[in-house]
Structure 1
Amino acid sequence: MDSNVPEHCPGTQSDDAGKASACAGCPNQTICASGEAKVVDPGLELVKQSLGNVRNKILVLSGKGGVGKSTITALLSRSLALNDQDTNVAVLDIDICGPSQPRVLGVLNEQVHQSGSGWSPVYVEDNLSVMSIGFLLGSPDDAVIWRGPKKNGMIRQFLSEVDWGNLDYLLIDTPPGTSDEHLSATTYLSNAGLTGAIIVTTPQEVALLDVRKEIDFCRKVSVKVLGVVENMALFVCPGCKTVTEIFPAKTGGTKQMCLDMEVPFLGSLPLDPKIARCCDEGKDIFTEFPDSPYLDSLKNVTDKIRKLCNTS
């Protein structure tokens, strides 16, 4: 392969914009090729201004669906907010076609209000808020059938028109993979001080294969990988206490993959049926099951993220 051929979006400022092989099939290919896209998007400055009082902006990514990315996002937000009542945390759900944060955080039937300063996020706790397209749908069963440009516009609105206020952490829950939503988020946040990305996976090789692609994506778009969280690593039977690997790690698991890819390993979280129950019912595991051993593992991951953010 010719080394000059880009393997990803060349960017609107490139001479190859709209002409590279990576541009094939992109809904913006025509406008990029025409040169009109080289005009600086005013949304970049709007996002920078809107997020000026947000200390840490963190993308939560996964290579494939079903690894518990949205669950981990919600649990990390609760854990970060629980640590200190003076710590303000928010979750932005940009999984446009599959918004799950309203249900997981227990605010499914809440409404978004708009004021002169923009949309107000929905508050889960005094220091924990969330914004999602799920609040804007007529019913939780409504399908969002949008092409790329409309998704991109919605993400820009969320980043620039929500009155987030002063935040210590903004966790951005993304859809699986590396597509329109990810490119939009990284483009708008590149000018706003993006802290980095956390990648969620399960131990089996079929999931780790996609995580390697996710890490490669982050490197190509200049996003720092804060680390990888291994979810559903082990299952401990609540009756007989037998430990079972539901997803066997045939090639050394996430820890070995992190060594190979030279990215931080943030820790492993077990498979706990109580987590699924709390998420389905929108309840807080910290108050429902405060003695759960799962919370010790989650605290270790949270502590590492907090240290990484304070030193980045």
Structure 2
Amino acid sequence: MSTATVNTRSETPRRELPWRRRGEAGFDKPTLPGFIGRYLLLLFCFVITVGPFLWELSTSLKGPGDDIYAFPPSLIPSNPTLDNYSEVLRTVPVISYAWHSLLVGIGTVLTNVVFSTFAGYAFAQMKFRGKGLFMAIMLSTLLLPGEVTLTSQYLTIKSLGAANSLVGVFLPGAISAMNVLLMYTAARAIPNSILDAAAIDGATTYQRLRHIVWPNVKGMASVVALMSFIGAWDDFLWPLVVLNEPEKYTLTVGMQYLQSSFGTDQRVVAAGTMIALIPLIVLFAFAQKYFFKGVEAGGVKG
């Protein structure tokens, strides 16, 4: 009987999956039209995302004899020059402005990582009255564009005596609701049994945060750190509102002087844009390994 059963099972035809037809290639081995379509889609995405950057870089290296408005655009300058960069350095105190942006960026990273970790852990693992209400209020702020709260933020900063200072630029971005949400998601993935076992063994809240929570959320913390720095470095509107003395400008605000002084020479403006962008490119080039590795290591390890 067992032999007959085995033969019956072996002769039973396999059911084809509803999304897979006989004779069709699998997902890992696409057909020729699928293969071409993939690369056309990748080429399209490359043109939209990287194309403007390449055009800006090419413009910053072009001399007066190159036509920057030619169509189709020529990405290779006929006579490459660094005079545009030299003009930016002579016109704008780039080092001073970059130092201001760096201070604001480092402060924003530190506060966002620390406070978002604490808040995310509290919302995800701790029980307290009104937690759902506080969480709903915090998430509702994500629906408001920054321009809506610009006036109230400025009045608050002015009442604190931090207007026209880097502290005033830094404070509104010291913690972000989006970063709290990211850390909340990472902390929620930690099993309650592990934290309960640590509490039974006598671990304090700080010890649970340090030895259990942090090793499992540091991947998401790297995401928070990188995105917080990029946001603080690229911010233009808020520093423009708070600061009114050119000596205290951040780099992005300081570069607006090029637009007013060299509005007819887009080569110099492009060079200033590249100077403001290069630090972010270098940062991501060095941090991307930790960035992606940290996201993958977000799960709890045995």
Q: State which structure, 1 or 2, has the greater radius of gyration over its C-alpha atoms.
A: 2
Q: Which structure is higher in RCO with an 8 Å CA cutoff and minimum separation 6?
A: 2
Using the size of structure 1 for normalisation, the TM-score is: 0.20
